[in-house]
Structure formats: C-alpha cells, structure tokens
A and B are shown apart, each in its own frame.
Chain A
Amino acid sequence: MDLNYSPEDRAFREKTRRWLEANVPTEDLKTLAERKVWHRKLYEAGYVGMLWPQEYGGWGATAMQQAIVQDEMARIQAPPAINGLGIGFIGPTIIVHGTEAQKQRYLKKMLTAEEIWCQLYSEPNAGSDLAGLKTRAEDAGDHFVVNGQKIWTSSGPIADWGILLARTDPKIAKHKGISCVLLNMRQPGVEVRPLKQLTGHSLFSEVFMTNARADKSDLIGKLNEGWAIAQTTLGYERGGNSLGRVTRYAIAFKQLVKATKQLRRNGKPLIEDAAVRSKMGKLYAELEVQRYAGLRVLSALNKGESPGAASSITKLSYTEFEKRYYEQALEILGPWGQVMTAREEFEEIDTASGEAGTWATAFLWARAGTIYSGSSEIQKNIIGERVLGLPKEVRADRMKA
C-alpha cells in the first residue's frame, strides 16, 4: 500500500497545471463553436482521448494521468471538453466491437469534436427496462429503415451522429432481437425536440425517427447481438473522473464554509451553530470517503484491473452522496441557498453537471445522477446479482422468454 503519487505522476501534474494556467479561457464560453475551439486545444495538448489507443488518435496515457488532468481541470475550474458520451462510451464501444472501416471513419472526428455524438437508447416505455425498446430497424437491402422514438437524449440538438439500439427481429425474445447501429442525425427522417428539465435547462431531448436510414455498413457487431454490446457500453469504466469529481465537491465545501461564516442565525455566524457543525462535519467526512474510494478505484484501474460490475458501487456511492450533499447544504443555507442566479462569489459552485451554478442548481441537478446511466435501483440489482451473486429475481418477461 502506497498512496503517494510517483515522481512521474507529480511531474505530469505540474506540467498539466502549468499548461492549464496558460491556456484556460479567461472569458465564459458561450457558443458551441467556442467550446469546440477549446475542446480542440485540449485534444491537441493530449488531454482528451487520453486512454484511447494511439492508432485511433488517442494518447495511450495511464488512468492515473487521466485522473490527474480531470483533477487539475476541476481545480482551476476549466470548462470541460465536449462530446463526453462519444469519447467516454461510444468511441470505446466502436474500438471494441467496430470494423476497421468504422474505426477509420468515426473515431478521429469524434475525438476532435468535429462530429458530436449522442446515445439513442432509452425510450418512453423502455427506461430501466431498456431491452423492452420498440424502435424498429427493418432490413431494406443495403440499409435499415428506422422508425421509433428515443428520449432523454443528451446533446441531441447538437449531435451529428448517434449510437442506436433498435429492434431488428420482433419475433424472438426481447434481449435477443436488438441490434446496435450508427445513425446519421443530420437527415430528414430524424427530428430532435429539446426537453426542458426541472433545472430550467435543456440538455436533453426527444428524438423521432420516421423512415430514417442507417447503412448496414454502420452495424456494430453482428445482427441481433446489440444487447450484449449495450451492456459493455453501460459498464465502461467510470473511474477516470474520480479525482476531478471529488475536487469539485471540495471546492463547493470551501464555499459552504465561507457562506456559513457570513450568514448569521441567533446572533452568531451559522458555523458556530452546533446543529450546523454536526451536518458539516458529516458532509466533509463523507466527501473525504468519496476521495479515498476514488483513489482505490484509480489504483485498480492503473494496474489494468477492470472494475466490471463493481463500477456500479462507485456510481451508486457518489450519486447518492451528491444528493445528500446538496440536500444538507440547502438545509444549512436556508432560503439563501435557493437562489438560482448568483450575485456573490461564494454562491457560485460547480454543479453535478460540471457547469457553474448556484447551490440551488446543484441541488436540482443532483436528482439526475441517481437516474441516468442506470438508476440507483438498477445499480443495486447489478451489485446484488453480479457482485454478491444473489439469485436473479423471477420476472414476468424472463418467464415468457
């Protein structure tokens, strides 16, 4: 056991910090074009696609280096790279399951954000029960004709391409008749309608496909074997951002301390109130435990160990913590914590989305974490079945199959 950073890691951190200090934009990035420019700069510096193989435009870096970059970016509150779903999940899926032609065509442009990607998985009636999806992809010779509706699609309005799960054989068991295919979002048969979230933002959308076309050369893996591919996508490691996430929590905690020194109750600063101190002590302890757990995941990743189903523990742990964190913070801050527009420096924190916002925005955002990428309930099923080896539940759809 040795949790010190190696001299190489420390040197890498130093170099990264210097680069960020010299290059982080001083003005807020407002347009997609501006964010693409920043993304490109990060990519060329070697800070995007770090874990990807070099032959596909990646940097072949270590998990530790990636975590250090995320951490330093959080520390300096740099705007994040874009195309996160593509680079984090879809690209790796293409690397593992795609053909050489697909890799050559899509990967580099994904990394450089020349093409933005979205994930077309969830449907109005297929959320946690994703395999119940109804979107059809019918064989039309050299291509599929796609009809159906997707929902909760992040980056939908700006996406050029999507990775689609669609039913290619409705006659066989529901997990078996699904295929995975890449869909061009810029075609007449694809309509994207933004959805407004309870935060007031519109980061995700509905996607309607009406006789849309997907080329057969864009089929990922074999026909009717898309479900297994989706499983590897959903299970792709989540450890790379472990340090950056905790650094954001820690920055927010500093802001909380500052706020509780300025706000007063019963004639004294909030931070001198025993009940407030008790809550804050608990929050800080939990925040640090998230950091220790993150280091443990990182250590395993760095040795080339794949956490597999155990990554569900990480996801469950930090998303549930995040909810408790902001709930408690808002209890401490009272009505002041509910403002949506920051007027003072210590009202600004990084939200769960990685964007700047107020405590209220972070509190609202935290509700998303325990739903997206497999809800907490689904994570607990995965942990129960695949980590603890508990028996599978008897389910109506399994009995039919």
Chain B
Amino acid sequence: MDFSFTPDQTLLKNSARAFLDEHCKPATVRLLWDDPRGESEAMWKEMAQLGWLGLSLPEGHGGSGLGMVESALLLEELGRAAYPGPYWPTALVATAIAEAGTEAQKKRWLAAIATGDARGALALLDADLDWNPESIATRAEKTTTGWSVTGLKRYVAWGHVADVLLVPARTPEGVSLFLVDPAAAGLSSSPVMSMDPGTRLAHLTLERVPVRNDDVLGAPGSATPRLGRLLRRAGAGAAAEMLGAARRCLDMAVGYAKVREQFGQPIGSFQAIRHKCAEMLLETENSHSAVYYAAWALDAGAEDAENAASIAKAYTGDASRKVCGEAIQVHGGIGFTWEYDLHMYFKRAKALEAQYGDAEYHRELVLDAVAR
C-alpha cells in the first residue's frame, strides 16, 4: 500500500511544471485567448518532443506505454497552467483507437498523434445535451461505399483544429463509433464562444457525411460500453486538470493573504480568511485523494475503478468550483479584474465541470452501481 508517487512519476510532474512555467506562462495563455486558433502549434510540437502526446499509447505506436496516474500528473500540471489546447481530447481519441482500432486505424493515427502531426476531438453531445451514450440521436446509414452520417454535434471541444473526430452515431446494430474527417463533404462547423477562452468549442452539423467502412471504430453497435468507459477515463482526467486549477488558486489565495494588509494586519491573520483557506486546502487535498485513487484504480483494473473515476469527476468538480471561487473572494476586488490571472483557472475548472458528464450524471452512475 503506497499512495505516494514513484521517482519517475515525480520526475514527470516536475519536468511538466518546469516546462509549463517557462512555455505556458499566464501571459502566454492570454495571447492564446486572443488567438483565432486558440492554441500554439509550437507548444504542441514541444509537447510531442517531451513524449506527452504519446504518454499512454503503446510503445509499438510511438508511445511511452504509461498509465492513467502519469496522465493525471501531467493533466494536473496542465490545469495548474490553464493550458489552452486539445491535449486531453486528443489523448482520449488516441486511447479509443488504441483500444478498439484495427491495425490499419492504429497505423494511420497513433504515431501521427504521438509526433504531434494529428489532433483529435470528441463529438459526444447531440442536440439534447445528454451524456448517456444511449441517448445518441445522430444517425448513420449504410451506403454502397460505407456509411452516411447525419446529425448535430454540440459543444465539441477543439473541433475546429481536429484532424479526426470521434463521432458516435446510431446504426441498426445500436450505437457505433465513427472516425470522421472534419474536412469531409457535408460537415460544417461553427465556433461557440465559451466562458473559458482556453477551451474552444464548435457546433458541428453533419449532413449525409460519407464515412468509409475502414473508419468504423470497433464492431458496429458495440459503442455504448466503450463510450461509458471513455467517459469515466475522460472524467478522471478532467478531474486531474480541475485539481491543478484548484491548487493554483489555493496557492495564489494563501500567498495573497500573507501579504495583503487591512486594518494594519495581513488579512490571513483574520479567522474569516484563514478558515476559508483551510477549507480550500481540505477540498483540494480530498480532490487529490480522489483523482489519484481513481487513476490508480483505472491502471490496476480495480473492481471499483469505474465508480472511482466518476466519484473523482463529481467530487473534484464541486471542490474546484468552490476553491477557485473562494480564491477570488479572498482577493477581493483585484480578484474580479481581467488583469489578475485568477479567472483563468476559475474558468477552466468551471468549463471542465460541464464536460464529460457533470457531477449529477456521474453520481447517478455510481449510485446505480452500488444501490442495486
């Protein structure tokens, strides 16, 4: 029983911190917020060089074969930096292909993703915004040459920069997964401006979009359990990112409370502020426990792995919203300004709370599993 990180894991965390402190400063994030594309090609290539893009991919496909604990460590640092870009959606698409893809699909995508030559996006929400894979309304019909996909996909994070879209659609066999080319005929994309400019969203309209048989991922009709597992993994990763955002906000709030003086004393000496900071630390540490327990459980194939991932997503979503929000409160007026960096992390945490299934969605999954 050991809840601490191995030397290699600590090394990964420290090198990620050092890289992001240098290459993803708050000023860099602000530049990317104003950038039409919203992410940096140069940073993406460097992340590939560091091995981050293939972190959990098999070694035979240009990856490092590492686990969810390593991914979570990296995502926590990305959240701490409010890194804007398609890292996690791309990694999830790659994981889906590594798990269910044919050799040809793996050859086509995995090495390209690991080297930074391809990005992926997940088109999981349809018009009625239900995370349950069974609710998918987008339809795919058989054609003479393959499939034809029609439907609406909403709030697709980083859809506008993706080279491959993971699109679930309903077929006669059940829900199936398609690897869709964003440039395909019949697919149009329109940007949606989110509260968090570091998460770019797109609405996709698919009107009889042709997909080749070779681009069906896994057997037709087999997508529901696969999507269920993908959402759990996605949720655990998002929780790690939210944890990073919370930790950054906590550090900033405590740092500020030590130096900001009112009534002739540092405000951190007042119990009203100190107790708030103590509660923020409690929520952050509990989130750490939840995130890394879940990451370990997913890697170890523990019997409660899926529940743990959902619990991490639900708990950390609530906790990070509270911690980042209270950090603004501790700062007072300055914390509400655009110039001060706090809102970057506050917004990132909030954006992730609604992604990959919100807290209610994940808690219902857990309750359904434990209260049968």
Contact = CB atoms under 8 A, between A and B. Distances in A.
Contacts of B273: 390
B278 A383 contact: yes
Contacts of A293: 285-286, 289
B364 interface: yes
Interface string A343-383: 00000000000000000000000000000000001011101
17 contacts: A1-B296, A2-B1, A9-B1, A277-B367, A285-B366, A292-B289, A293-B286, A295-B289, A299-B3, A313-B281, A317-B286, A380-B271, A383-B281, A384-B275, A385-B274, A390-B254, A390-B277
B282 A316 contact: yes
Given A281-B366, A284-B367, A387-B278, 14 more contacts: A1-B3, A2-B1, A285-B363, A285-B366, A292-B290, A299-B2, A313-B281, A316-B278, A383-B282, A384-B268, A390-B258, A390-B268, A390-B273, A394-B269
B69 interface: yes
A5 B277 CA distance: 34
Interface string B232-263: 00000000000000000000001001100000
- Decide if the interface of chain B is mainly helix, strand, loop or mixed: helix
B5 interface: yes
Nearest to A64: B1
A282 interface: yes
B314 A285 contact: yes
A226 B23 CA distance: 53
Given A1-B3, A6-B1, A299-B1, A390 B293 contact: no
Contacts of A387: 278, 281
Contacts of A377: 271, 275
Contacts of A389: 254, 258
Nearest to A293: B289
Interface in A244-282: 253, 257, 260, 271, 277-278, 280-282
A253 B371 CA distance: 9
B277 A313 contact: no
A381 B274 contact: yes
A389 B270 CA distance: 13
B279 interface: yes
A300 interface: yes
B171 to A, nearest CB: 31
A383 to B, nearest CB: 4
A391 B269 contact: yes
A118 interface: no
Contact of B1 (A282, A298, A390): A298
Nearest to B69: A1
A394 to B, nearest CB: 6
Contact of B308 (A5, A257, A288, A300): A288
Q: Which of A253, A385, A390 has most chain B Cβ within 10 Å?
A: A390
Given A271-B371, A300-B3, A277 B364 contact: yes
A281 B300 CA distance: 24
B258 A391 contact: yes
Given A1-B69, A390-B257, A296 B3 contact: yes
A1 B4 CA distance: 5
B281 A296 contact: no
A390 B269 contact: yes
Nearest to B261: A391
B275 A1 contact: no
A3 interface: yes
Contact of A284 (B9, B254, B360, B366): B366
B315 A289 contact: yes
Interface string A384-401: 110111111110000000
Given A377-B271, A384-B268, A282 B277 contact: no
Contacts of A393: 269-271, 274
Nearest to A281: B363
